[in-house]
Structure 1
Amino acid sequence: MGQNATRNINSFLVCGLGNLGQYCVSILKEFGAKVNAIEIENIQKWEIPDISDLVDKLVIGDCRQPKVLEEAGIGLCQAILIVTSDERVNIAAAFAARSLNPNLRLVIRSAQENLNELLSENLGNFVAFEATQLPAKSFALAALSSETKDFFTLENHLVRVVRVPIDVSHPWSNYHPLQNINNPHRRVLFHAKAGKPLPKIFYQWEPNAQVLSGDTIAYIEVNQNLIPPSARPAKSIKQFWQTIVTILKWQNLRNRLTQFWKQNSQTQRVAIVCSIFMVGLFLCGTVLYKLQYPKITLQDAINVSLVLSLGGYDNLFGQIQLPFPVPWWLHLFSISLTVAGTVFVGILYAIMTERILAARFQFSKGRPSVPKADHIVLIGLGRVGRRVAQLLLELKQPLVGVHATDLEPGVLPQMPLIIGDITNALNKVNITTAKSVIVVTDDEVVNLEIALRTHAANPTASLAIRTFDPRFSENVAQLLPYARVMGVYALAAEAFAAAAFGENILNLFRLNKQTILVTEYQIEANDTLNGRLLADIAYGYGLVPILHAKANHQPAKFMPSDDMRLRVGDRLVVLGTIEGLQRVERGSIPAGQWLVRVEKAVSAQAAFEGAAVISRVCGCDMQLARTLMKQLPETLQYPLYKHQAYRLVSELSKSQVLAHIARNV
């Protein structure tokens, strides 16, 4: 949630100065925070150079010990980030920290989802992440080579982030103005002109620009409602019987039987025919014995027919002299029924044996074969690699994994796997025909070597590389401009740092070499967001509101209007960089710099409606708007953001009021 703008506590404590902890310190210091740290032992070599100079106070000791936490200044901290590599240490330290500071925000590294939920309920003001899972989707998306840059679910809806190049055949080519691309299901994130560099600031684009061939546009859209089958409305009894009657119509029944027959294998067809034939013989035998011997009961007739069907001829006629008189034709039918039953039982045994053997072979079957072309090669199957593999398999992407050692039984069994020396394994994965290669081993030098070999063998393949050291990452990015060089802990640390300020991070992704965080706010009375228009959030703080839910439990609204005003109890989900979240934390919002001049209204009714539009779009007092409309032509002395100003002019024109943007303040 947003914090009180007058709050002067800006101190954080980081426990564990491994890769993730060092990145967390670096990011927190970028925003001028005071950062203390606890490490179990002196570190001789830092992953991030000069990290020791960034830490305001470093305490050597066990972060689970209250004395160590107190020495590190936990009583004055706004939040503690517990990011050691041992989850048990993290959880124990969280309890110790909460006992010392009941108001402290706890951000810990943990992959125990069920335990994390229980801890959140009992500890309060608590959030947990798994560092290896946060950036996994970024690697998966880098391998897709598609316009989709991210996807996630929100309120049971699928949300996509798309970056699309505009050519002459695109529907948006020569579109004007750009702001009209926005609709209730879509929001523009950036617009880059052809031949010009991509914007460096998130959510900066000209609302009145024209879209031309060669431009690039990124946007976020809500695709569909993901309703689970259990949530679908049940059919009424009348609909049920109507469905049954429809199915039983001869034409529909014949089509269904034909489809059923075609879908079955040859063995299944033989079993179906034999079963129907045996049922017919069994019923026929029951009827014949009942008619021939009226004194026996129906149950006795069924029993005789069943015994004969199961090969029990000798049980009835195995004696030298027949126990009861039997006509020759019934005797012949009994023999035929026994022979048919014996054959049928043999067929059933054969089918059962086939199924058992097939199940046994299926159980012991090896991994699938390596795809021939247009597949993804995933090199390195540690924690990050396995998470990436799971995401790609869920997306139904053809995939082959490469790892130095075999995986445990049952780990990613549906994925082809090449085991052994990684550099030699490239010859076995059809690297020359692969569409993408992801290199995520734990050795960044090996990753670089593999990337160079991969590009030499297949220059057209998309390439994503995992790195750790920031300087090494910069050098590799310069050496391999065709590759996406991504630091796992650098990506994850931004989410940890943002959560330390009190935000609920739902997702994160990369766009234009920036990490974008999907963040949820619960509006409270002392928030910097309370009472703000969504236009202030979007164009002042630089965040993109994508979902707004009012406190009165009304249905949440996607891509809400800029005119909505936040109240206590509202819920807001936004896209933004960590810089934007920091501006919310501090309540640092620039004022609008654009004015609108209203020229005339065609009628008194138009003037009345125009005043309502001005009050709604600007958020100003209604009396100010009505006074302005009585003194036309007049300039609205209420500074607006550029997007607000353009939207106000557009909305006034719909009410038959002529206006234009006059000047910037």
Structure 2
Amino acid sequence: MNAPIILCGLGLVGRRVYEHLLSLDRPLVIIDSRINPQDPLYHRPHVRVVVGDCRDPVILEQAGVPHARGVLILTSDDLVNIATGLMVRRLNPDVRIVLRMFNQNLINRLGRSVRNIVALSVSALAGPRLAMRALDRDVVTGFDNLEFGPQQIVEMAITPESPLANRRIGDIVHRERLVTVGYQPGEGESRILLEINPDQVLMPGDRIWLAGTAKRLDRLRLESGQLSDRTVSLPGKLRHAWRMARRAVDEIDWTVKLGTGLLLGTVCFCTLVYHWVFHRPLADSLYRTISVIATGADMRGYDFANEEFEGGAKVFISIMRLSGVALLAAFTAIITNFLVRARLGGVLEVRRIPDWGHVVVCGLGNIGFRVVEELLRRGERVVVIEPLPNNPFVPTVRREGVAVIQGEATISEVLRQANIATARAVITCTPNELINLEIALLVAEIQPNQRVVLRMADPLLAETVRESGLVPLAVSVPTLAAPLIVGAMFDEHVQSVFRIHGRELVLVDLTVQPNDPCLDRQSLRAVAIDYDLIPLGLVPIVQSTTPLHASVIDSRNYRLKAGDRMTVLTTPASLARLVQREPAPAVWRVEITGFPLPQRETLALYLRSVQNLTQADADAKTQQLPLTLAHSLTRGQAEDWHALLQRERIAATITPHESE
């Protein structure tokens, strides 16, 4: 319990991680070469500061690495992080190490090469959360439920007009098969997880957080008026084709337009001369014109040998042939030059840009690429604006069908080309904060109601921009990534870490290990109560014919077995207890206060099984009420007994064992 958590590096990411670690109320040691130990920020209980180089084994030993519970290495230098990680592993072969890495290629290889080490990329952690903010600001987080697949946690506000007002929370979640995660009354303290009373009636001004599939949540939000129907009528096919053609023509060089115009003009003129002067049918005139210009097939003029226009026809055909050869040669040279300069790619690119409902991503760096990946995974249409033509991510996203516009997003014409006025959202992901802010303000000028997610590095600046009202969705990358870094220290299967009214929650996938003192052979209800968690989905090691639905999973008396997997929502402190295999306090007892006469035999059976009594002793004990059925139980185990006794109509109470 006294083993410290060690944090190496206190930059922008490290400071945010430090804030989250404080909520764990566990010993914490900070190592940094530039830290001021006198800063009041670090004068906290259980916090100790060590000034020095985190690669130095003496400094690491002084910080307590040999008996540390976990080490987070978060400097901004990959080489320093790797060197520190290897030194920590030498000093403590078993400690869990979380390593920050910028080099994408090293992340997976390092994790496989060194035992119990987790290498993380800030861009990979923050990118999906940026994408989520762009798609829906009310979606707190998305996750993959082991049992039900992709799900979301959504925040909902209860208004006087909402159909959810004046209804019980339990009725709502039972009808929609959802799970209540958090509840904030209009007046009073917020409640999370098992603190929420299902009999609570929602009132205007309340807020509630629900987990479930996007389809069910969107239906509920549509009913309550929180989600607008985004159905937009498609533009007419002719209008769309005309706009695409006009945009493609605008992208073509003027020399190509001139050469094409002269060639087509010559063909039209010669066709009309054939038709009007030599009295040929129009179709035949066009055919003969193309034949002469392209192949010279009619150069001898046999068709005019017996006509009065024989001499003039030969002169006309000769001039037409010479003009055609010159125009074709010029046209071929111009087109070849146009293709060599790779302008055709830009012409074809405009056909990929959707008319509406897409997401525009400005900047295709490490974070921008992760954002695009997440948007594509969610089935969104994406348009990227990237100024660098040799960006290594451009070919990759183009292969995925993403339209890439080469240009500066700070230019209004480039933004208009991306159809930002009808886009679903705009995300600024360039590495320059000032450019991101400029893009966000320019988008607001073009389309005042457009949703813009502003990516920033400095958490304080992002908060200032939000509070000033300039960009309500200004977010800091360290703020997005820090909770997931803390979660990775406990378990590599942490999916998300988020806050509800300042209270931190963790979404994690758990696997029951053989002889696990916390999970194995325990009822799901008991585990939920003892470790303050909500099971969202369960995949038993042996599949049952009857699925266990998330909305009723905590009411079942299912006993976990080694190999079972489940997706749960809990607090960081409770997850730490599970990871450390800390047993829940066994200080509760179940006391029988009354029972119907027909249930005497059932109660005697319980007494025999729990207290190892004979039939006569059990029958005699049922004559003396109140009586203790079981003691030295965890709270969850006691609640299990209480639920079982209620079903048998046996009155019972749960009290702390110390009160005896």
Alignment match, 1:576: 570
Corresponding position of 2:4: 10
> What are the within-5 Å matches in structure 2 for residues 250-399 of structure 1?
365-366=348-349, 368-399=351-382
C-alpha separation in 2, matches of 1:170 and 1:639:
47
Does the Cα contact within 8 Å between 1:162 and 1:219 map onto a contact in 2? yes
Q: Secondary structure at the match of 2:181?
A: strand
% identical aligned pairs? 24
The match for 2:180 is 188
Structure 1 residues 510-547: Cα deviation after superposition (integer angstroms, max 9, x where no partner): 46466643224455668666776544543454322234
Partner secondary structure for residue 412 of structure 1: helix
Residue pair 1:598, 1:636 contacting (<8 A) in 2 also: no
Closer, same or farther: CA 629–175 of 1 in aligned 2, 3 Å: farther
Query: 1:189 is aligned with what amino acid?
Result: V
List aligned pairs for 1:215-230, cutoff 5 A.
Answer: 217-221=208-212
Tell whether the 8 Å contact from 2:146 to 2:537 is kept in structure 1 after alignment: no
Per the TM alignment, residue 178 of structure 1 is displaced from its structure 2 partner at its CA by 0.7
Tell me the equivalent position of 2:21. 28
- Which of the numbers 151, 155, 159 marks the counterpart of 1:160? 151
Shift of 1:220: 2.9
Task: Label 1:622 to 1:58 Cα distance change in 2 as closer, same or farther (>3 A).
Answer: same
Find the partner of 1:400 among 377, 383, 386: 383
Question: For residue 302 of structure 2, what is the aligned residue in structure 1?
Answer: none
Paired amino acid for 1:412? V
User: Counterpart in 2 of 1:518?
Assistant: 507
Structure 1 residue 144 corresponds to structure 2 residue 129: no
* Number of the residue aligned with 2:496: 508
> Which 5+ residue runs of structure 2 have no aligned equivalent?
216-338
SS in 2 for 1:81: strand
The residue that corresponds to 2:322 in the other structure is none
1:465 counterpart SS class: strand
For 1:590 and 1:373, locate their aligned partners in 2 and report how far apart those are by CA, in whole Å.
Answer: 57
- Letter of the structure 2 residue corresponding to residue 188 of structure 1: T
Take 1:184 and 1:427, find their aligned partners in 2: how far apart are those partners?
A: 41
Find the counterpart in structure 2 of residue 350 from structure 1: none
Matched, 1:546 2:546: no
CA distance in 2, matches of 1:473, 1:60: 30
Q: Which residue of 2 aligns with 1:78?
A: 69
Cα separation, partners in 2 of 1:216 and 1:630, compared to 1, 3 Å: farther
Per-residue deviation, 1:459: 4.4
Give per-residue Cα distances to partners, 1:539-559, cap 9 Å, x unaligned.
454322234566x76679664
Residue in structure 2 matching 1:422, options 410, 413, 419: 410
Q: Which residue of 2 aligns with 1:268?
A: none
**Could you tell me how far apart the structure 1 residues matched to 2:111 and 2:622 are?**
53
1:68 to 1:174, Cα distance in 2 relative to 1, 3 A: closer
- State the 1:387 CA deviation: 0.8
Q: What is the alpha-carbon distance in structure 2 between the residues aligned to residue 116 and residue 183 of structure 1?
A: 44
What secondary structure does 1:504 align onto? coil
Counterpart amino acid of 1:410? Answer: P
Query: What is the CA–CA distance in structure 2 between the aligned matches of 1:368 and 1:376, rounded to whole Å?
Result: 16
Specify whether residues 181 and 611 from structure 1 end up closer, same or farther in structure 2 by C-alpha distance, changes over 3 A only: farther
Which of 107, 123, 126 is matched with 2:117 structurally?
126
What letter is aligned with 2:361? L
Deviations 1:202-242 (A, max 9, x none): 55321223457886543334799xxxxxxxxxxxxxxxxxx
Alignment of 1:620-639 (within 5 A): none
| Greater CA drift, 108-117 or 151-160 | 108-117
Partners of 2:626 and 2:404 lie apart in 1 by: 73
Instruction: Extract unaligned runs of 5+ from structure 1.
Output: 1-6, 225-356
| Match of residue 104 from structure 1 | 95
Structure 1 residue 564, shift from structure 2 partner: 4.5
2: CA distance, partners of 1:199 / 1:417 = 46
The 3-state SS of whatever aligns with 2:195 is coil
Would you say how many aligned residue pairs link Structure 1 and Structure 2? 510
Q: Tell me what 1:491 maps to.
A: 480
Greater relative CO, 1 or 2 (CA 8 Å, sep 6+): 1
Residue 282 of structure 2 is matched in structure 1 by none
Equivalent pair of 1:137/1:391 in contact (CA under 8 Å):
yes
RMSD: 5.3
Residues 609/103 of structure 1: CA separation in 2 closer, same or farther (3 Å cut): same
TM-score under structure 1 normalisation?
A: 0.60
Range moving further from structure 2, 203-212 or 641-650: 641-650
What is the TM-score normalised by the length of structure 2? 0.60
Q: SS at 2:403's partner residue?
A: coil
**8 Å CA contact retained: 1:371, 1:398:** yes
Distance 2:115 2:369 in 1: 31
170, 174, 180: which one pairs with 1:178?
A: 170
Q: Give the deviation of 1:388 after TM superposition.
A: 0.9
SS of structure 2 residue aligned to 1:103: coil
- In structure 2, distance between residues paired with 1:145 and 1:73: 44
Q: Which amino acid aligns with 1:437?
A: V
Distance 1:155 1:411 in 2: 30
User: Relative to structure 1, is the Cα distance of residues 435 and 610 closer, same or farther in structure 2, using a 3 angstrom cutoff?
Assistant: farther
Q: For 1:80 and 1:662, locate their aligned partners in 2 and report how far apart those are by CA, in whole Å.
A: 41
Matched-pair contact (CA < 8 Å) for 1:378–1:385: yes
C-alpha distance in 2 between matches for 1:25 and 1:60:
18
Aligned CA distance change for structure 1 residues 537 and 651 (closer, same or farther; 3 Å)? closer
User: In structure 2, what is the Cα distance between the partners aligned to 1:663 and 1:405?
Assistant: 68
